[in-house]
Every structure is written in C-alpha cells, then in structure tokens.
A = this chain, B = another copy of it.
C-alpha cells in the first residue's frame, strides 16, 4: 500500500539527484532542502505515503491546496528532486519508511544525497565529510569530498535510509556536516549546499538569502530543533565513536 504517489507526471526527469531534507540535528538537511525548493521555485511533484508517516494535512499560506507532510518537489531542468518534510519521522517507523523510499529510488534510478549533522565543536567553517553506498563513492571522490576523520554512526531515519541503501546495493551519498546540536544551523546547511549538493547535483545554488534569513530561520525552527534534540540518539545525527577500530 505504502508508496510514492506522483502527481506531476508531466515533469520529465532523467536519473535525477534527490536531496533528502528530513528534520535532524541542527535541521541541516531540512534547511538545505527547503532552500532549494524556494530558490529553484520547484514544482510539487508527489506525495510520500509510506506507512507510519503522520497522517496530517499541510497547507501553505495564500493557497487552499492540502498536501501531505512528506512530499517531493521537482525541477525538470536541473534533474533535481527534493524530499521535503514538515514532520519528524518517528524512530520506530524509520525502518518501514526507509524500505518504502529506497524501493522507489531504486525503481526510478534516482541518486539520493542523504544529509546529517554531526554535533561537534566546529571551526569558523564547519567540516563536511562524505560517505557512500554502492558506487556512490565515485561522486564524493570526483568532488574531492573527504571521508570522516573518525569512525562514527548515523542514527534516525537518515541512518535507516543509508542502512537500506547499503542492503539493496543502491548508489547513494551521505553528507555529514559539523553542526550545532540544539539550534537550527543555516551556516552548516550552506556548507552542504555549496560544497556537497551543488557540485554533485551540478547546480549553482545562491545561498545569500539563506544567511540573510538566518535570524528568521533561527526563530522559526527552534522549537522543532529542540524537540529533535530531546529525542537524542534516536533522531537523525552523526556521532563519532571514540576508540572505534
């Protein structure tokens, strides 16, 4: 039953890149994904109706259309998809959700970019690392993205997505960026967009608006970030494992 319900059949996509924007540590994925939808004026493409996702109704300002809380936006010119979510995915549902999404990506020849924050003390510019499943490592090597210096674990729905990509042999890339743990972190999202998503998806993303709107984002999303922080290890985040061999 659970599936991705495509509404905009007319949009033509050829082996697109998907940017995953589920809420997680620092909201880095959600901020980056939402920014792409707005910046490229992307079209509503389809509804993600995987079992276990909250069945709530979303509406946007000045529009009457009801949409599901997790959905896809597309930009046919850039062969780009974004997975946008207004709700966190419950850790107990992460496995079914990941199976549902992974099957669809596999069937539609999509290259997913999974995004996760790594809560750590960071320098001026947060470090970004790349991990991969299948032949995904080619994309990160091509762009000179380095692997993590230290071993670690990605938890939450994004961890489950990477786990399932590994299980099915799907090509995928994971981008891990140092982030604030408790607050929305537009700067980390900017690093993802400029140094990871942009080069791999071969798109040119203007990120000035992102930083100009930093205060607004900060305020708007603090509650969501706080809630995710309390969920702790079970929500999406990367975490170093000290002494890992």
Contact = CB atoms under 8 A, between A and B. Distances in A.
Interface of A: 5, 34, 37-38, 47, 49, 54-69, 86-87, 94-95, 98, 130-133, 137, 140, 147-155, 158-160, 162-167, 174, 216-217, 219-221, 241-245
Copies of this chain present in the complex amount to: 5
Closest 5 CB pairs of A and B: A220-B243, A57-B162, A56-B159, A64-B147, A57-B154
B132 A174 contact: no
A64 B131 contact: yes
Contacts of A244: 60-61, 86, 220
Contact of A68 (B63, B132, B147, B166): B166
A57 to B, nearest CB: 4
Contacts of A5: 167
Contacts of A245: 34, 37-38, 60
